[in-house]
Amino acid sequence: MKLKNLGYHDRLEEYRIENQLEETDLIDNPGMREVGTTDAKKGTEAVFNRIAMLSEKCRFRDCTHTTESGCAVLEALNKGELDRDSYENYLKLEREREYFESSLE
């Protein structure tokens, strides 16, 4: 979708594109610069279900899956049983979630 002759702040309409196959929506809202990740813990676990399953086997309940000994996620990563890109994306989303939640306090 290309909008002609409109400047950076000139759009007034909101566009919503529904993707029924994946049960997701894409919303283009003028003036909105970012969207926070509210209640993202369950969503992150659903998307990264392999990591969520591995994390149940971690030695520590509050494992961050970054440096802890006894971390099942790091062990799987080191053995090549877990995709590195998926792991990096998981960590990035976790950092974003933690930042967003701390900004609400």
* Closest CA relative to residue 95, chosen from 66, 74, 67: 66
Q: Which long-range contacts (CB under 8 A, 24 or more apart) does 48-51 make?
A: 48/86, 48/89, 48/90, 48/93, 50/82, 50/86, 51/82, 51/86, 51/87, 51/90
Residue 62: which pLDDT band, with cuts at 50, 70 and 90? very high
pLDDT at 10 over 80: no
Residue 60: which pLDDT band, with cuts at 50, 70 and 90? very high
- Joined tokens for residue 7: 């400047």
What is the average per-residue pLDDT within 23-48?
Answer: 64
Residue 27 lies in a domain: no
Assign residue 89 the CATH number of its domain: 1.10.40.50
Q: How far apart are CA 39 and CA 76, in angstroms?
A: 27
Report phi then psi at 92, rounded to 5: -60, -45
Residue 33 lies in a domain: no
Residue 32 lies in a domain: no
Residue 15 lies in a domain: no
Residue 61 lies in a domain: yes
Q: In this predicted structure, what is the pLDDT of residue 97?
A: 80
Q: In this predicted structure, what is the pLDDT of residue 5?
A: 54
**How many domains are there within the chain?**
1
Residue 77 lies in a domain: yes
pLDDT at 1 over 80: no
User: What range does the domain containing 56 cover?
Assistant: 40-103
- The number of C-alpha atoms within 13 Å of 101 and in the hemisphere containing its C-beta is 10
Which is more confident, 97 or 9?
97
